[in-house]
Chains A and B, each alone.
Chain A
């Protein structure tokens, strides 16, 4: 095979591949990455930096968190991940080139990138693990690039210690590369003692870390000891270490062994047959891994739909969320409260009670499961409703429950809640933290300045709007059901459209037409007197009919002639069915009245 052609093909394939990764993330996994940004709180200040360097693993965590904070932007995550994988790929290529200069192996960096892509499908995996991997690869490259044995070995020892402090597991990755390199390339008499020294350093490092950090850093206890990792995170470690982190050493060993087996000398150009078989082998491996990535992605596809709903709620794009729900209804039950929120925000919820999976009041609120996700969903709903005390509660629960206890989005939400509730000391604390973040800095600084003159906050639109919705009287609150949440809100502010929508929907769904009528009578005229949705008119007619109120007494209840005639038709049909001793739920009846509240009232089981 033409060497040049091979090199060019290798470059083209690699370029296409590394462009495809960010594109894939952007097209199919963007909302996961946007959500991922929330679960960190990178602050660029001396205490945070000092804390990061003060314990093993802190630096990679800090670096990873820094990069993650740019996931806030839709293209940020894909670009950062793509770049990181590309840089890892370059390092692996360099290591392999050093191992076998005339190798025809183009797949290992790509395989690693694919495996890393797969790894980052899981939101639990922090970016620190990939940044740590990159730093370690960089160290490995530095190590193998030094030719004199003595200097290389001294440098190796220093790098090993640095790698441990930067990323803990990094030292294992680097150790595997160093031992492989020493084993296969060195032939001097100090080879075995050097390997022994490296192993000793790897064992001693955690012990030194213990002495240095045991008394002041609790994270050390979960991070400094490999023993702890093996005890508590062995599943994660095994999967990540065996699949990805050990790969540089594995590739190197493979190459060393292969060329040894072929009995070829270093720098000998391999023959075409060998090259061809190796290329085919690599293509097969790439294909299999790529297929695994796609299969793995399938498992996260539904989550991505939920994440999209979550993002649209976060950005208050209600119409877009409704449209999205029409096209691709997320399978996750957790999406329903979001879709209902979008519908309620656009005053469409109570008119569409038979749509989506919102046919129980449970779908309007999720039960709080003491985790960050349900707490976040509840926080979003309660915040939109104007129940700021409960929203603050849930924001705090979400913040506390987030792994690592840092959540930049919830910190912002807490600052917002405190500003609305005029709790300025607390708001100041959160805002000060946010001023040290790269993304929220401007937002936080502006409000930090305004806090000095609290009257200026009254002019801020969103604060004024939320303050208007606050309950006037203190009550013991829970959020077991949507009605109990909404009652104090609608009593405090009868124009709270969202509270009305949720309450009306809940009453309609549970067929509580007496309460629906009361609610309607008390609050609807204050919200939008000129328009009464068709479904509401139908429900009101059910109430009128049940309470034997004739059309002459409809009074202020605006029911159109058309609806009244439609209802008459419905009543007559029902009577016909009753005379015939049949249930009024056959296909014809459903076709004609299936979309009416009367049909729902008659046939929907509770």
Chain B
């Protein structure tokens, strides 16, 4: 078993971020969003057992454990490790992050500059929201300008 392994995630600690996927030098960690689930998988036959993911994980949720399986090699598909629920955007309904991830970031963020309803929006809808508010201001300003010209 020496030299064979795969990352194992603690379902309590893992928030569903992409740090391990980005940090893996061999790109063996595959993360897919399937409908309302975020699925972590490993191409175990390519894992070098380097423990880079263990180091990079901000939540310290990963432990690389000895494991040996060739299913991912034969099927060409990653072996599933963990499934996490995703949260839909309250405006467009696209799934964008896990509720745990949002909660974690929310606890770190400055509450005075972030409106509460923003947390349930995806980045696209956040842009739309801000642009919509600016648009209202713009039309207000334009009508004020027209009125001042009429007088």
Co-assembled chains A and B: no
Chain A interfacial positions (CB closer than 8 Å to B): none
Chain B interfacial positions (CB closer than 8 Å to A): none
